[in-house]
Amino acid sequence: MDEEPPVEFPITGELDLHTFRPSDLGELIPAYLEACQAKGLTNVRIIHGKGTGTLRTTVHTLLDRHPDLVMSYRLGNETSGGWGATIATLNPTSASNSPPVGAVPCDDRKRRPAQA
């Protein structure tokens, strides 16, 4: 069986997973985050839906595996999708470790330990 050619889509900082196969997420999510980071986007909304929570868990596991890309993440709020979406804050591309402009501390945001 021939594989379908890759489909290009705009890098906007919002990724709706409803149109993708779960088996594609391991490559898709890190590649999309890298593309967002390269464009200077610091916040990415990943729409996984509410459902049973399995897809949300998969997304969070993938975000945890990429501390080079992801500074922190949290579930969306009432205006950004609630628990059907995850908002990831990406590390800046510069050598600076300062938080992105406009980053606001949040109690429910998952924090990563500082690296020496």
Per the domain annotation, does 34 fall within a domain?
Answer: yes
The domain of 86 spans: 14-90
- Beta carbons of 69 and 90 less than 8 angstroms apart: yes
pLDDT in tens, 4-54: 777 777 899 999 999 899 999 999 999 999 999 999 999 999 999 998 999
Q: pTM surpassing 0.85?
A: no
CATH number at residue 37: 3.30.1370.110
Q: How many domains does the chain have?
A: 1
Q: How many CB atoms lie within 10 A of CB 44?
A: 25
**For residues 60 and 74, is the Cβ–Cβ distance under 8 A?**
no
**Cβ(44)–Cβ(77) under 8 Å?**
no
Using alpha carbons, select from 93, 95, 29 the residue that is nearest to residue 56.
29
Chain centroid to Cα 53, Å, comes to 16
Q: Per the domain annotation, does 65 fall within a domain? A: yes
Is residue 50 situated within a structural domain?
yes
Is the residue at 95 inside a domain? no
